[in-house]
A and B are shown apart, each in its own frame.
Chain A
Amino acid sequence: MFRFIAARLMQTVPVLFVVATLTFFMVRLVPGGPFDAERNVPPEIKRELEAYYGLDKPVFHQYLDYLGRLLHGDLGPSYKYANRSVNEMIAATFPVSLQLGGMALGLALIFGVTAGIIASLRPNSALDYTASSISMMGICLPTFVLGPLFILVFALNLRWVNASGWFDAADRILPAATLGIAYAASIARLTRGGMLEILNQDFIRTARAKGASSTRIILRHTLRGGLLPVVSYLGPAAAGILTGSFVIETIFQIPGLGRHFVTSAFNRDFTMVTGIVIFYAVLIVFFNLLVDIVQIWLNPKLKF
């Protein structure tokens, strides 16, 4: 197991290198630079700024500098926020996205898995169709529809919670629910499919022939195999959900990482974009590794 994890961590090095290289050059291919938008900057000051950030050097030189700092875990200074490094910015905003994403993921798992199991117990019954159509709606409704709808109903009409902001616990409810519903819907469908697949296997008939109760059949015989598709889905989904959703964070005015990512792209904040992409890549690699470990634990046919 240790060797498996070590080998997988070694594989992440080339992945991150490729990601860093591609992003580094791709953001620079976009027309414009970080200081173009500031009006009335005298040419000499702009030159000073570029010299300060090393942007006057040849691009390949800049690239080597960047890689050198990256080796020490330094993502460089932000070009847009003076005196703040990308590391600091991520450290300040990621916890917010993490909290939002964690709550959304928790909600999504609880409701998604429960709905999926209920639907799988009586396939093609009214209960199944209800659960399946609700989850289909959840998949189809984009968050930018659902979010404003929730604000309209729960904040503006019912006045239960604030319409936006990120101050007290009640402010977490609407964004977490909006983000969670989309994932809950997918999880419900995957759970239903996975459970039905296992419930139709011969060994479930064996369990029934042994006199096992339905509860026992679900919990002991079906769940472990039935949740495998959900687990594979959770890897990339978790990385996405935890790094925050730009849409959700914009609708609800949440100071998270997702919003920074998009604004920095508009601002041509090169280091910020590259830094967040690398951070995102690390998370995806981490969650995929986690998923592989959980799958090996769930499925005895797989080995380290």
Chain B
Amino acid sequence: MCEPQKTDAMPLLQVKNLRTYFHTRNGVVRAVDDVSFEIEKGETLGIVGESGSGKSVTCYSLLGLIPQPPGRIESGEAIFDNTDLLKCSTAELNRIRGKRIAMIFQDPMTSLNPYMRIEDQLIEPLLIHEKTGRQRAVELGVQALKDVGIQDAAQRIRSYPHEFSGGMRQRVMIAMALITKPDLLIADEPTTALDVTVQAQIIELVKRMQAERGMAVIWISHDLGVVAGLCQRVNVMYAGRVVESGPTTSIYRSPKHPYNHALQKSIPALQPKGAELYTIAGMPPDLSKPVTGCAFMPRCEFAQDICRAPVELKKDGPGHATACTRAQRGEINL
């Protein structure tokens, strides 16, 4: 059951101590390990990190989209409009997902059902959540396609997904996600599978839709450039944990965590031409082995013995927090 909790002036979504583990044959993989963050109404939050850092799993956990088993949400709460999403039954979640929280996915080529017409998939949220009559729903569907910039929407709505290009399909996904006017849109690397010009169009489209409708957006990406242009706040994730969180400008201009600092340094466009490309030495840790201290320690150029002690995300500026023991003690200045 999801018990309503009476608190005023709550953020739109408040995630606390989320832990999602995968119980596999090779041990317990701590994909998301004690993640907390919040997002206000109408805000855009970026979640960045490399592959396997737990960005997507965090968001899938919120909407109950983790395959269970092997996945299991071990602890935490996610309060959305006085409801704890993590304690909702499937039926209760089904009233929220697709209606108040919508999601778009990484690969538009596989995220639409190839056996169904665009029409049937597009208007499905209306039929499920708003009990709209079919004819009215189709009218709204055509309008939604026009809104995301699809020409001849009235004809094209009758097509099947394979008759659309990748960019067009992602537009359809966005139209489908926004058709119920959700309060929160979770975008899981929606531009990763698209080429650069289409990427820019999709980003502009989401920006425009957000401005028109005032919804909040969680934008998951490993593309720091995309996030910088889109988000007000950014969470940097590493090995299933948030290592640094803050307003976009301070995340990019004055990184406090050595991992974030190293990420910024490895953006080729920001380095002088001809300079050798900076890379972070080593590999991300194996998440099936428990890590007590800082997970980035083996790769960190500032690492000392003290980094083996447990470290938590601590506030160190207006809206800014870092999970680095040495940065917290003021020992390193990046």
**CB pair B113 A207 closer than 8 Å:** yes
B103 at the A interface (CB under 8 A): yes
Residues of A contacting B162 in the complex (Cβ-Cβ under 8 angstroms): 300-301
Partner among A203, A211, A214, A298 whose Cβ is within 8 Å of the Cβ of B125: A211
Residues of B contacting A206 in the complex (Cβ-Cβ under 8 angstroms): 103, 105, 111-113, 173
Query: Interface digits, A55-78 against B, CB 8 Å rule (1 contact, 0 not)?
Result: 000000000000000000000000
**CB pair B128 A221 closer than 8 Å:** no
Smallest distance from the beta carbon of B105 to chain A beta carbons, Å? 6
A210 at the B interface (CB under 8 A): yes
**CB pair B113 A301 closer than 8 Å:** no
Check A221/B116 contact, CB under 8 A, given A211-B128, A216-B128, A300-B160.
yes
Query: Interface digits, B106-127 against A, CB 8 Å rule (1 contact, 0 not)?
Result: 0100111111110010001100
**CB pair A212 B124 closer than 8 Å:** yes
B154 at the A interface (CB under 8 A): no
Question: At the interface, is chain A mostly helix, strand, loop or mixed?
Answer: helix
Within 208-230 of A, Cβ neighbours of B (below 8 Å) are at 208-214, 216, 220-221, 224-225
B181 at the A interface (CB under 8 A): no
**What separation, in Å, do the CA atoms of A85 and B6 have in the docked complex?**
88
B99 at the A interface (CB under 8 A): yes
Which of B90-98, B140-148, B304-312 forms contacts with chain A? B90-98
Partner among A203, A209, A213, A221 whose Cβ is within 8 Å of the Cβ of B65: A209
**What separation, in Å, do the CA atoms of A300 and B159 have in the docked complex?**
10
Residues of B contacting A207 in the complex (Cβ-Cβ under 8 angstroms): 113, 124
Within 160-184 of B, Cβ neighbours of A (below 8 Å) are at 160, 162, 173, 176
Interface size class of A (residues with CB under 8 A): 20 to 34
B63 at the A interface (CB under 8 A): yes
Query: Interface digits, A110-123 against B, CB 8 Å rule (1 contact, 0 not)?
Result: 00000000000000
A83 at the B interface (CB under 8 A): no
Smallest distance from the beta carbon of B193 to chain A beta carbons, Å? 11
B102 at the A interface (CB under 8 A): yes
B114's nearest neighbour on chain A, judged by CB, is A301
Check A209/B63 contact, CB under 8 A, given A202-B105, A203-B110.
yes
Question: How many chain B residues touch A (Cβ–Cβ < 8 Å)?
Answer: 33
Partner among A202, A205, A224 whose Cβ is within 8 Å of the Cβ of B115: A224
**CB pair B97 A210 closer than 8 Å:** yes
Check A210/B125 contact, CB under 8 A, given A205-B105, A300-B162, A301-B162.
yes
B129 at the A interface (CB under 8 A): yes
**CB pair B107 A211 closer than 8 Å:** no
**What separation, in Å, do the CA atoms of A62 and B85 have in the docked complex?**
81
Residues of B contacting A11 in the complex (Cβ-Cβ under 8 angstroms): none
Within 190-248 of A, Cβ neighbours of B (below 8 Å) are at 201-203, 205-214, 216, 220-221, 224-225
**CB pair B129 A205 closer than 8 Å:** no
Residues of B contacting A298 in the complex (Cβ-Cβ under 8 angstroms): 115
**CB pair B116 A208 closer than 8 Å:** no
A133 at the B interface (CB under 8 A): no
**What separation, in Å, do the CA atoms of A298 and B93 have in the docked complex?**
31
**CB pair B98 A210 closer than 8 Å:** yes
**CB pair B113 A210 closer than 8 Å:** no
Residues of A contacting B64 in the complex (Cβ-Cβ under 8 angstroms): 208
Query: Can you offer 22 A-B residue contacts whose CB atoms are under 8 A?
Result: A202-B107, A202-B110, A203-B113, A205-B65, A205-B105, A205-B111, A206-B113, A209-B63, A209-B65, A209-B102, A209-B105, A210-B98, A210-B124, A210-B125, A211-B94, A211-B96, A211-B97, A211-B125, A213-B94, A216-B128, A220-B116, A220-B120
Other contacts beyond A206-B111, A210-B98, A224-B116: 5, CB < 8 A: A205-B105, A206-B103, A208-B64, A211-B129, A220-B120
B residues adjacent to A (C-beta < 8 A): 63-65, 90-91, 93-99, 102-103, 105, 107, 110-117, 120, 124-125, 128-129, 160, 162, 173, 176
